A and B are shown apart, each in its own frame.
Chain A
Amino acid sequence: MQKIEAIIQPSKVDQVKDALIEAGITGMTIQEARGHGRQKGHTEFYRGREYSVDLLPKAKIELVVPDQLVETVIQAITSVARTGKIGDGKIFVSRIDQAIRIRNDERGENAL
């Protein structure tokens, strides 16, 4: 089992969610986040004072899937979230030791 964390533009969330569902992935967690990579922030003006805002709004999608689906998920995300510009985001993949379904204590890939 592997965990896929994707940090993407908030405006891409609906499209990514639809692409994942279409690829057969049903379980995911989506969070609002703030951050930046190489993307510069922007300046805001409040009563004449300039504020540089470095922490930009992002969306973070987390999924845990069986090993054989990892590449499918990555393809689904990148195909809709890629614009070619700085700020598209990043995907991280890590190993998951255990998964448990709380309702009935199912373990391992059956719990996904």
Chain B
Amino acid sequence: MHRNRLRMLATLLLGSACTGVCFAQSSPPAPAISNADNAWMLISSALVLMMTGPGLALFYGGLVRKKNVLSVMMQSFAMMAIITLLWAFLTYSLAFDAGTSFFGGLHHVFMHDVGLTPDPDYGSTIPVQTFMVYQLMFAIITPALITGAFAERMKFSAMACFLILWSIFVYSPMAHMVWGKGGFLNAALGGGLPTLDFAGGTVVHITSGVSALVCALYLGKRLGYPTEPMRPHSVVLSFIGACLLWVGWFGFNAGSALSSGALATSAFVNTHFATAAAAAAWAGVEWIRNSKPSALGAISGAVAGLVAITPAAGFVQPMHSIIIGLLAGVACYFMVAKVKQIFGYDDALDAFGVHGVGGTLGALLTGVFASSAINPIFKDAAGNTLPSGLIEGNGRQVLNQLGGVAIAWVISIVGSLVLLKVVDMTIGLRVSPNDESEGLDLTQHGEEGYDTAS
């Protein structure tokens, strides 16, 4: 509690100092706002928030044991509250202000100069505040995804501290590099290593998935893992969550077109096709290997497909999105069902297996299948469209994707390790063994998820 207050005070002081230094700049004549684009973007923002709450909360909640269901939901919900404030105070600026190639500046702290006219680089037909709130929903769900790795054993306070720091030092720079002005990996705005990432395969899924792996390794296995059975307590909840994720993801991917035009349609269709293919693929593999396709497998496959198509959604042809989905469903199945067992780490809810692996695969396949017919992202000096991906003869792009992926991996590993260490040394990360056995709902939150007595 004490530390939370100190942190807030420091942030307030920092913000006040910066507001004093920064002054309003005169803006160029604003492009016209399209009500259609803005309507779609606001809906998309709501859809993406729904992905976290209740989508992810339910999906993760059903997968843990009954005694921990609320703690998992609370972690996602906490991100909805905390990251929103952090974004308003600081991290929107760090991500989307012009700054260096790697980090934004502080011009927009406390929403300074984030008004209702468009910023041509951030959706020329929507108020920049729409862009800001849309991006906020991404900033919320990314740390929430990581909670899947350390579920059932991390202190709530430590989780909050770690994910706040992670948002500042890992998410904001990555978002800046891929989507921010002057970002090193920004393909749309002429970055040095242009990485095609339509809706966040690198920014959201690789960073969260790889950081999740680091967390799982650092925190160690749950008590009793892997010998004690830890079945999902409600596949029903997970099912509902997964369906909400599927629907919400249309906002995540199609909304990344920042407009309601044809590109949004491409992203929408690609998202849907890839997800269906991946769900069928995972269920199909289970049918062959276990003689029964499971509901949990089908929905896990769907999520894997959603992850993999995220970087590719606005760049590929629909039939190629099916290929991406099929590959993601199969790859993530083996990652989760086989490779995890081989290495023995306890990534409780498969955040790395699905997001880290799916995101990496999707990002690389984007370099293969990106088509300038769908999205003419690369142009020469005269304005002629250049080939996007390998299938159009631009093999170089796969290497660029590899570079962007590598940067995402490195910043996630290094950032997470350092921040985990810092939080561990100050307040400690893991709950006590007794608390872990009794369950986090009771010990961290003083509640029970299901009161059978009342």
By a beta-carbon cutoff of 8 Å, the part of chain A in contact with chain B is: 44-49, 51-52
Q: Which of B259-305 contact A (CB under 8 A)?
A: 286, 290, 292, 294, 296-297, 300
Q: With A51-B229, A51-B231 known to touch, is A45 a contact of B290 (CB < 8 Å)? A: yes
Whole-angstrom distance between the Cβ of B142 and the nearest chain A Cβ? 22
Residues on B with beta carbons closer than 8 Å to the beta carbon of A44: 231
A27 → B minimal CB distance (Å): 24
B341 at the interface (CB under 8 A from A): yes
Contact count band on B: 10 to 19
* Interface 1/0 per residue, B320-341 and A, CB below 8 Å: 0000000000000100111001
In the assembled complex, the Cα of A46 lies from the Cα of B338 at a distance in Å of 12
**Residues of B contacting A49 with CB < 8 Å?**
226, 337, 341
Choose among B226, B229, B292, B296 the residue that contacts A47 (Cβ–Cβ < 8 A): B296
Q: In the complex, what distance in Å separates the CA atom of A47 from the CA atom of B235?
A: 12
Q: Complex formed: what's the CA distance from A55 to B170 in Å?
A: 46
A46→B341 contact, CB < 8 A: no
Q: Are B231 and A46 in contact (CB under 8 A)?
A: yes
B231 CB contacts on chain A under 8 angstroms: 44, 46, 51
On chain B, the residues within 8 Å of A45 by CB distance are: 286, 290, 292, 294, 297
- What is the bound-complex CA distance between A90 and B296, given in angstroms? 35
Contact indicator A46/B296 (Cβ below 8 Å): yes
**Smallest Cβ distance from A49 to chain B, in angstroms?**
7
Q: Which of A47, A51, A52 contacts B336 (CB 8 A)?
A: A47
* B297: nearest chain-A partner, CB-CB: A47
What distance in Å separates the Cβ of A2 from its nearest Cβ neighbour in chain B?
31
A-B contact pairs, 17 of them (CB 8 A): A44-B231, A45-B286, A45-B290, A45-B292, A46-B231, A46-B232, A46-B294, A46-B296, A47-B336, A47-B350, A48-B336, A48-B337, A48-B341, A49-B226, A49-B341, A51-B231, A52-B229
Contacting residues of chain B (344-378) with chain A, CB-CB under 8 angstroms: 350
A86 to chain B, nearest CB (A): 23
With most chain A CB atoms within 10 A of its CB, the pick from B226, B333, B337 is B337
**A48 and B333 contacting across the interface, CB-CB below 8 Å:** yes
Q: Which of A44, A46, A47, A49 has the most CB of B within 10 A?
A: A47
Residues of chain B from 220 to 236 with CB closer than 8 A to chain A in the complex:
226, 229, 231-232, 235
Q: Which B residues lie within 8 Å of A48 (CB)?
A: 333, 336-338, 341
Write the chain B residue with the least CB distance to A47.
B336
Q: How far is the CA of A41 from the CA of B350 in the complex (A)?
A: 27
Q: Which residues of B contact A52 (CB under 8 A)?
A: 229
Contacts of B296 in A (CB 8 A): 46-47
Which residues of the other chain, A, contact B294 by a CB distance below 8 angstroms? 45-46
A81 vs B184: C-alpha distance in the bound complex, in angstroms? 72
Closest B residue to A48 by beta carbon equals B337
Residues of A within 8 A of B341 (CB): 48-49
